[in-house]
């Protein structure tokens, strides 16, 4: 079924240029493009996947441009990508509907540095290292209890850009991915609020990329329960998993408050808890 009850296009063929528009361009051809974008990322060994939902949003357009550049797209087709348009010719290339030209092959051979940059940006190992470095955070408590403060808690809060006690689940995530992991997040304070995290991920801004929770990796950041809580993914989600293993600040290790529990704890959350069904992948580049 098409997303949101949408009636899909009559076929999946390449039959139109695709534009970033409002309302968002939708169709079976968009879904086919997204699916092949993911196959191309796998081919180039880049740990990125876009949502296959038939909607041409900013993330899908950005991913299309990345894959096309990896393949060697040049000239007018490249210019159109910068103008938020995926030409029919570029779609055919991404979807395997045509061979690369000699000029595209030559351009692609010169872009190994670009591909390496993308591999680093979406690196799974960088997130794993951030989680490993944060192992000693588990068990950190507020002091005094229910204060949203304390030596280590204060350090995380101030690192994120706040000067006084605040609910600090997002500050813990900022500490893990930025301070320990070195993620390239321009505005750290936006990690302090769950709603900002999903907004940035969906728009592809502030060093965040939206990824389906079913493809979550260590170091990804998620917002739960309608922007009530922030978590950091600590283990990759495997096919068929219904729970996500997380590391969280300002939660409870046992049966206490899950969104204001006063400690850092490792938890498991249902995939259905994640807002919009996504996590935000930081730029590790």
- Is there a contact between 217 and 281 (Cβ–Cβ < 8 Å)? yes
**Measured between alpha carbons, how far is residue 58 from residues 55, 78, 85, 235, 254 in Å?**
10, 16, 11, 27, 39
Query: In sequence order, which residues have a C-beta less than 8 Å from that of residue 124 and are 6 or more positions away?
Result: 47, 217, 218, 236
Mean pLDDT of 253-279: 94
Mean pLDDT of 144-171: 97
Cα 255 to Cα 248: distance, rounded to the nearest angstrom: 15
Cα 198 to Cα 25: distance, rounded to the nearest angstrom: 21
Lowest mean pLDDT among 4-8, 58-62, 193-197: 4-8
Cα 70 to Cα 43: distance, rounded to the nearest angstrom: 10
Mean pLDDT of 172-181: 98
Residue 10 pLDDT class (50, 70, 90 cuts): low
pLDDT given at position 256? 84
pLDDT in tens, 92-109: 999 999 999 999 999 999
pLDDT given at position 254? 84
- Phi/psi for 267 (5° steps) reads -135, 175
- Look at residue 76 and tell me whether its pLDDT is greater than 60: yes
pLDDT in tens, 37-47: 999 999 999 99
Question: Strands, E, within the chain: which ranges?
Answer: 18-19, 25-26, 55-56, 85-86, 208-212, 221-224, 229-233, 243-251, 263-270, 278-282
Residue 11 pLDDT class (50, 70, 90 cuts): confident
């Amino acid at each position: 079924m098409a997303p949101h009850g949408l009636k899909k296009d009559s076929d999946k063929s390449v039959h139109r240029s695709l534009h970033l528009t409002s309302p968002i361009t939708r169709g079976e051809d968009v879904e086919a493009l997204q699916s092949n974008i993911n196959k191309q990322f796998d081919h180039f060994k880049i740990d990125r996947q876009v949502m296959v939902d038939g909607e041409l949003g900013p993330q899908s357009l950005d991913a299309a441009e990345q894959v096309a550049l990896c393949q060697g797209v040049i000239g007018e087709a490249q210019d159109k990508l910068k103008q938020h348009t995926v030409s029919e010719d570029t779609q055919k290339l991404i979807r395997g509907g045509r061979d690369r030209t000699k000029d595209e092959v030559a351009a692609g051979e010169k872009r190994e540095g670009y591909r390496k940059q993308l591999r680093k940006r979406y690196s799974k190992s960088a997130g794993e290292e951030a989680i490993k470095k944060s192992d000693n955070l588990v068990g950190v408590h507020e002091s005094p209890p229910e204060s949203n403060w304390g030596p280590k808690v204060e350090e995380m809060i101030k690192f994120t850009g706040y000067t006084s006690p605040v609910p600090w689940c997002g500050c813990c995530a900022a500490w893990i991915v930025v301070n320990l992991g070195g993620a390239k997040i321009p505005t750290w304070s936006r990690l302090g609020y769950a709603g900002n995290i999903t907004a940035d991920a969906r728009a592809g801004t502030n060093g965040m990329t939206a990824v389906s929770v079913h493809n979550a990796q260590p170091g990804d950041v998620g917002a739960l329960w309608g922007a009530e809580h922030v978590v950091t993914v600590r283990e990759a989600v495997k096919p068929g998993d219904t729970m996500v293993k997380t590391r969280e600040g300002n939660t409870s290790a046992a049966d206490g408050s899950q969104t204001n529990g006063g400690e850092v704890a490792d938890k498991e959350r249902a995939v259905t808890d994640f807002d919009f069904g996504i996590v935000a992948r930081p730029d590790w580049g």
